């Protein structure tokens, strides 16, 4: 892929707030994928309980020069997961592989990575429930 410069985000605003969100599944209507990027930490996305892996992805609309991805897990968190980035939504690279995750708020250093898409792939659940995120923030 040609070297495309990413748009800077000098204000550090949460780019996910204006992104388009998709997910591999949802537990039901109250827990849709868009809840994870609405800026409201009282709403959340929750995946189906059925199988692994499960994922949630945000299309930021254009390629940005990122600084961080912040995940705010609900009690149904992932003990093993990947945070991935992509410029085109087809070819993904791991920004961080996590094993032994403990939930809570996790800050992932993006070190000026260039990406239009950010995806969280849950590999192993901490509970019998699906994966659940209060918020995904991308800066």
Supply the pLDDT for residue 7. Answer: 94
The segments of the chain whose pLDDT lies below 50 read none
What six digits make up the tokens of 51?
């199988």
What total number of domains does the chain contain? Answer: 1
**What's the order of all strands across the beta sheet hosting 114-125?**
20-23, 54-65, 114-125, 78-86, 93-99
Does residue 2 lie within any of the structural domains?
no
Does residue 36 lie within any of the structural domains?
yes
Does residue 32 lie within any of the structural domains?
yes
Supply the pLDDT for residue 39. Answer: 97
Does residue 131 lie within any of the structural domains?
yes
The rounded distance, in Å, linking the Cα atoms of 18 and 125 is 28
Supply the pLDDT for residue 2. Answer: 58
Supply the pLDDT for residue 74. Answer: 98
* Structural domain harbouring 68: 15-138
Does residue 33 lie within any of the structural domains?
yes
Does residue 1 lie within any of the structural domains?
no
Supply the pLDDT for residue 112. Answer: 81
Supply the pLDDT for residue 134. Answer: 98
Does residue 10 lie within any of the structural domains?
no
Query: CATH code at 73?
Result: 2.60.120.260
């Amino acid at each position: 892929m040609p070297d495309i410069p990413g748009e800077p985000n000098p204000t550090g605003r949460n780019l996910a707030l204006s992104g388009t969100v998709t997910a591999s599944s949802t537990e039901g209507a109250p827990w849709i994928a868009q809840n994870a990027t609405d800026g409201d930490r009282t709403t959340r996305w929750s995946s189906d309980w059925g199988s692994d892996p499960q994922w949630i992805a945000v299309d930021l609309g254009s390629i940005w020069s990122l600084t961080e991805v912040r995940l705010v897990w609900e009690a149904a968190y992932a003990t093993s997961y990947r945070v991935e980035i992509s410029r085109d939504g087809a070819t993904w690279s791991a920004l961080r592989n996590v094993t032994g995750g403990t939930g809570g708020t996790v800050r992932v250093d993006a070190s000026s990575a260039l990406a239009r898409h950010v995806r969280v792939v849950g590999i192993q659940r901490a509970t019998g429930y699906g994966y659940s995120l209060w918020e995904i923030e991308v800066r």
